């Protein structure tokens, strides 16, 4: 048996930073990442055979809990018939039909293999359809790692941004305007100045990549109205929120219809599936119908699609989201009460099966407010919970995820651990 530390050492020799996606390296909390050997329901086990209650949930997809037997069986059955054909299949048509039936804003969709591909394609589609170059995004929202989206806000309200990653030439983000989340005034100003050149506004309609931040009343409605008025495409990036906050994503909860929607995570049930979909007239710009190019060797992969279809069937059962939301609230209410009892500044928020924990007095509404939290307190909480067998996301800027298998006993075990941890933090 190798320890996590031994594996991490070994990993660092063959993989940059020892991980295949940066947040897994524990850089923002310090310490050694747990190397996961297996997972079942609400639990993951590391290579040292330590069991953890898991609130990462593969960063969103594991809404049914890990390794749900029906999803695993669907994957097994599909794999027996071949892993990939590079030709169309009945199952991908079924997946497209299920998604279109569940999300009223989708007339058509194209399957891809990740959220990054979905958002990259949505942006290209918006630009191709409008013939405009500029895009608007919001500070703290993450839409994957394609060049034009790796940008930090400029120094002035309406100055175009700078790359947030080395290797992205400044010209590549020179068309990307990054505005403050929940500031409709900033979006109004952007449209007043650049309206005729703005191809699209892309937004996480509930933000889950700067911890959890909900849209302020009127914010999403305002985006809808401004985009319609100026002929820009409104893109809801529901990669994280789609089928996570409710049966129809944020668009179902708010009744706001975006022009394009990006999906991934839950729709693949733990396998690589993403999608971009929306208005038929926009989707008609995609190759082979139109001039906007997009393709993928493994797009609509039969094994991944089988996992997605099984997942969507199971989460479509009556009462699923009511139970999920109730369990999530049991967690966040319980944590808040225990922090309060210990006198720790702490707030929590939740929507569907997604939650945010903040080491500050109130729930934040912007990236600036999230950044104002007590990161040291979060780090102490994170490590002390890990010691007690509870695995939260290893960063103060990530949302957490509850699955259908986080029953009362699992949540209460988490709360017992938290009570001891908060008391220790106070001491
Ligand atoms: C809202 C959102 N969009 C896009 C992405 C990128 O998805 P992927 O990691 O599948 O490329 C993520 C990933 O966390 C996300 O949360």
Q: What is the per-residue DSSP string for 44-98?
A: EEETT--EEEESSGGGTT-TT-BT-HHHHHHHHHHHHT-S--SS--HHHHHHHHH
Mean pLDDT of 14-43: 96
257: annotated active-site residue: no
Q: Tell me the pLDDT tens digit for each residue of 61-85.
A: 999 999 999 999 999 999 999 999 9
Q: Tell me the pLDDT tens digit for each residue of 175-227.
A: 999 999 999 999 999 999 999 999 999 999 999 999 999 999 999 999 999 99
What integer pLDDT is reported at residue 349 of this predicted model?
Answer: 98
Task: Give the residues surrounding ligand 1 with Cβ less than 6 Å away.
Answer: 59, 114-116, 119, 142-144, 204, 208-209, 237, 239-240, 264
Cα(342) to centroid of ligand 1, in Å?
35
- Write out the two tokens for 92: 């991908």
Collect all residues with Cβ–Cβ distance below 8 Å to 374 and sequence separation of at least 6: 345, 359, 360
Quick one: which of 136, 127, 112 has its CA closest to 290? 127
> Is residue 323 pLDDT above 90, yes or no?
yes
Q: Which of 22, 245, 264 to mutate to test the pocket of ligand 1 (most atoms within 8 A of CB)?
A: 264
Mean pLDDT of 20-34: 95
> Dihedrals φ, ψ of 163, to 5°?
-60, 140
> Considering the entire predicted model, what is its pTM?
0.97
- Using CA positions, which residue lies closest to atom 9 of ligand 1? 115
Q: How far apart are CA 184 and CA 222, in angstroms?
A: 7
- Using CA positions, which residue lies closest to atom 4 of ligand 1? 143
Q: Which of 113, 209, 243 to mutate to test the pocket of ligand 1 (most atoms within 8 A of CB)?
A: 209
> Is residue 142 pLDDT above 70, yes or no?
yes
Mean pLDDT of 355-375: 94
> Dihedrals φ, ψ of 258, to 5°?
-75, 165
- Using CA positions, which residue lies closest to atom 16 of ligand 1? 240
pLDDT range class, residue 152, cuts 50, 70, 90: confident
54: annotated active-site residue: no
Distances (CA, A) of 338 to 44, 87, 141, 414: 25, 54, 30, 11
For the chain, first and last CA: distance in Å?
36
Please identify, by atom number, the ligand 1 atom nearest to the C-alpha of residue 21. Answer: 9
C-alpha count within 13 angstroms, C-beta hemisphere, residue 359: 19
Query: Which domains can be identified in the chain, with CATH numbers?
Result: 4-67+318-425 (3.90.1150.10), 69-316 (3.40.640.10)
Distances (CA, A) of 284 to 69, 200, 274, 322: 38, 17, 19, 37
What integer pLDDT is reported at residue 12 of this predicted model?
Answer: 97
Percent of the chain's residues with pLDDT above 70: 99
pLDDT range class, residue 247, cuts 50, 70, 90: very high
Q: Which of 56, 115, 117, 119 to mutate to test the pocket of ligand 1 (most atoms within 8 A of CB)?
A: 115
Collect all residues with Cβ–Cβ distance below 8 Å to 29 and sequence separation of at least 6: 378, 379, 382, 383, 394, 395
Quick one: which of 53, 129, 60, 62 has its CA closest to 294? 129
Q: How far apart are CA 258 and CA 251, in angstroms?
A: 8
Q: How far apart are CA 266 and CA 255, in angstroms?
A: 21
pLDDT range class, residue 426, cuts 50, 70, 90: confident
143 strand-pairing partners: none
Q: How far apart are CA 113 and CA 119, in angstroms?
A: 11
């Amino acid at each position: 048996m190798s320890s996590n530390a031994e594996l991490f050492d070994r990993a660092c020799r063959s993989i940059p930073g020892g991980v295949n996606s940066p947040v897994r390296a524990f850089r923002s909390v310090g310490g050694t990442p747990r190397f996961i050997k297996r997972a079942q329901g609400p639990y993951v086990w590391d290579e040292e055979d330590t069991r953890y209650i898991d609130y990462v949930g593969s960063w969103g997809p594991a809404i049914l809990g890990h390794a749900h037997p029906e999803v695993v069986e669907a994957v097994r059955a599909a794999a027996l018939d071949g892993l990939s054909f590079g030709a169309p299949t009945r199952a991908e048509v079924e997946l497209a039909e299920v998604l279109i039936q569940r999300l009223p804003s989708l007339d058509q969709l194209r399957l891809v293999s990740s959220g990054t591909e979905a958002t990259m394609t949505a942006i290209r589609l918006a630009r191709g359809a409008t013939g405009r170059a500029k895009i608007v995004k919001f500070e703290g929202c993450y839409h994957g790692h394609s060049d034009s989206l790796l940008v930090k806000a400029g120094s002035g309200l309406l100055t175009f941004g700078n790359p947030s990653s080395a290797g992205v030439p400044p010209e590549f983000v020179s068309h990307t305007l990054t505005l403050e989340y929940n500031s409709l005034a900033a979006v109004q100003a952007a449209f007043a100045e650049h309206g005729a050149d703005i191809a699209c506004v892309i937004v996480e309609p509930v933000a889950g990549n700067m911890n959890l931040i909900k849209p302020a009343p009127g914010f999403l409605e305002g985006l809808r109205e401004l985009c319609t008025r100026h002929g820009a495409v409104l893109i809801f990036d529901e990669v994280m929120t789609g089928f996570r906050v409710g049966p129809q994503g944020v668009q179902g909860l708010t009744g706001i219809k975006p022009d394009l929607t990006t999906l991934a995570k839950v729709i693949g049930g733990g396998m690589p599936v993403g999608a971009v979909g929306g208005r038929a007239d926009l989707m008609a710009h995609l190759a082979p119908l139109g001039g906007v190019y997009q393709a993928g060797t493994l797009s609509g992969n039969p094994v991944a699609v089988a996992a997605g279809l099984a997942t969507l069937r199971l989460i479509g059962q009556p009462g699923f989201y009511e139970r999920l939301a109730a369990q999530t609230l049991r967690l966040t209410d319980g944590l808040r009460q225990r922090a309060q009892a210990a006198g720790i500044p702490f707030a929590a928020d939740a929507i569907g099966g997604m939650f945010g924990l903040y080491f500050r007095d109130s729930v934040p509404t912007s990236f600036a407010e999230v950044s104002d939290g007590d990161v040291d307190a979060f780090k102490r909480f994170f490590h002390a919970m890990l010691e007690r067998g509870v695995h939260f996301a290893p960063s103060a800027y990530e949302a957490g995820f509850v699955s259908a298998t986080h029953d009362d006993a699992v949540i209460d075990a988490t709360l017992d651990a938290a009570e001891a941890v908060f008391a220790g933090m106070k001491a």
